[in-house]
Structure 1
Amino acid sequence: MSVSEKRFLDPTILASVLDATNTGIVITDNLLPDNPIIYCNAAFEKMCGYDHDEIIGHNCRFLQNKDRSQEARFEIAEAIRNGENCVVEIRNYTKDGQLFYNQLYLSAVKDLSGNVTHFIGIQNDVTSRKKAEQTLQMNFKETEQKVIDRTKMLKESEEYLSSIVETIRESLLVMDKDYTILSANHHFLNTFKVSLNETKGKLLYDLGNGQWDIPELRLMMEEILPTNNPVLDYEVEHEFPHIGRKLMLLNAHRVELEGQFKDRILLAIEDITEKRAVEQRKDDFLSIASHELKTPLTTVVGYVQMMQRLMPENSSERFRSVVDKTERYVARLNQLLKELMDVSRIQTGNIELHMDYFDFDKMVRETIEGIQAATRGHRIIVKGQPINQCYGDESNLVQVITNLISNAIKYSPDSKEIDIHVSRVSSFIKFSVRDYGLGIKEDDLKKVFERFYRVGEIQKNYPGMGIGLYICDQIIKNHKGTLWVESEPGKGSVFSFTLPVNLDKKAAYEY
């Protein structure tokens, strides 16, 4: 049969077939830095719990979370390095941190010249099989005497554990499978102004003459908990007749052990009413302070500019130096005030993104040229491929790129290069900034995008308020993109974000 006579499967049908299969499938681009994922099917999204937009652009290693020392990871790295196929079983983690075992079939795709262009990963969730194997191994290892010893130890520890529960500065209820209260610690009794007689032996929803018959609480206990054990940080707000409005953070766990404590339900209740009120007062203060400072600071900026224009030609160098320093510090104060106002608008939802088409490559080039002109000690190197048109808020994206590059320069004083990489990954634009500086500890990685959070060691040596990355994260999220960081102390950091290439032009985005 000649080539012209061959029938090829329509790409749309092929995509439908891949999405219909129960087997997870990902495709990575070996020609792009860090071999990013450019395609994943619906089965893979369901397996790992991440959405399509959160997967594209990442290297597959993000699924291993902190579990980086697995032998399987080195086998995969070796196969990718040599452009070979391999089959491994590897421990992965879902978006909410749940462990699952993945049987991975990795296949290299080569072009006519024998160069590896892509890798295809066929993934099967074998968690049930692995758990069965582990259970079987445990049964062989355990003896009847160990079970007896463990039971004895639990009985002896019951009083000790009860003492610990009573010292916890959080309300705690223990219930049976029917939501009848078996015990309540003193913190619960004191917080909600009830006695032990009014609590123990009562149905949860009957407490306080039905005060705890809260629809959101029923939803968590009866629908969410049975299918998603445990439930963490579930927020409930309720007006109690005798103690007023309470904002509560609930954590629930169903004990699935056999024996005396089988099907017990633990419910921890944190009263965050005052904490949230303090946060609101802080937000209100920031909003008022930033707006009140704006007018006098604008006046000061105007006077400094006037001083620079009207300065006599015979002015002394000392006087000129004082004016220049004043201008720099006023500019810095103006930038801090702008960031505070951005945070205030984010919290109140009053900032709108002005979306339009613009030349992404030109925006990146002009932004970097401006930063490079003001930076003598570092060389900014740009690599990648042209993007052309992008739909978004250009000024806000300039703010994001400026912040990421400025941070890379600021926190890598001993390294002279900053690497920028721009690429198109599937239906996303990917922008990455790599520095070779201080790096970030693993415990701080998840917090760097929080408002006012600053890494302890950096806080001591570098000024700042810890809001720049928070603002960047909010801008990217409201462009329907993702911002993340990979880092290792002493080896630098890589901050990356993705933006969808095709956004709905008519959509309105606010943050």
Structure 2
Amino acid sequence: MFHPIANIEDAQTLAQAIVNTIVEPFLVLDENFRVLAANRSFYQTFRVDPEQTHGSLLYALGDGQWDIPALHLLLETIIPEKTAMDGFEVEHDFPDIGRRTMLLNARKVLYDHSSAATILLAFNDITARRAIEREKEELLGRTEDLLRQKDVLLREMEHRVANSLQIIASILLLKARSVTSDETRQHLKDAHQRVLSVAEVQRHLHASTGADEIEVGSYLSKLCSSLAASMIGETQAIAVNVMAENGRIDSQKAVSLGLIVTELVLNAIKYAFSTEKVDALILVTYETDAEDWKLTVSDNGWGKPVGDIPGAGLGTAIVEALVKQLEARIDTVTGNTGTTIAVTRATFTSRMPKAA
């Protein structure tokens, strides 16, 4: 059963107890902004004397340190119009405690049987929070600056790598022309072509915006187009087509796939069509199924037994190493209608056609 408070002294005692229970600094002001009550947190936080606080004008507390323009605006302009305000931010340099940032919550209490009004004012010190936010903003700014620097350095490195690869390729070609051994000359030409292949993969990755992820269809199409333009002679017309499902792959995977495709396409160009063939075709397909994928390079050349494929030594070793790195497997099917080499991650049922 509810028992009303018998007298005003008991009501004041209860009110002061409630005020002291509030954890954040808290003030009760009259309509003239004089302090009617303050809690312990207010005295401890702002280091003011209780005897000099009670009954004093808020703006005069602490030798005028509370004479804050933003506080005038809140109490004299905003509160009379709205009667309530939450999250009003005030920043001020207090002589005893230093610079503080506070969120003020204010309420104007009106009474039914009196023209007097009371203002409740609560302070939430967010100085530490704002300091952390500023540190995070500064850290973010420095991080963005470092990322810009990294991007510039990466582009410079890519440019130098491309130039270095071109120089190495040129040296290998010059050396191949100067040696007398046909076998050594062929090895040097193969090395020259592989360096160019690496340079081609690197060039396409460099041209891709975003760097972290590559659009696989566009990437393989441009790569194969470049390989065909540089390797297919006028005496034998060989079409190199690409069929790839939409999707993006990370740059590291793109490098490995690009080198595999380069090796297999070059091998098909050089060995699949030992004699001229009408409608000669090399088809590169790429399919995905969630995390699984399948890369296939097939041709409609004359085909030979797997163990009798020319140049299968170093090229096969390179491809097998890359396939192992991708945690995939490689399968080769060859016959008199052509050769199909499939690189598959996990179990995958192909939906793409083969060269025919």
- TM-score interval for Structure 1 and Structure 2 normalised by the shorter chain: 0.3 to 0.5
Question: Rg bigger for which structure?
Answer: 2
Structure showing the higher helix proportion among its residues: 2
| Alignment TM-score, normalising by the size of structure 1 | 0.31
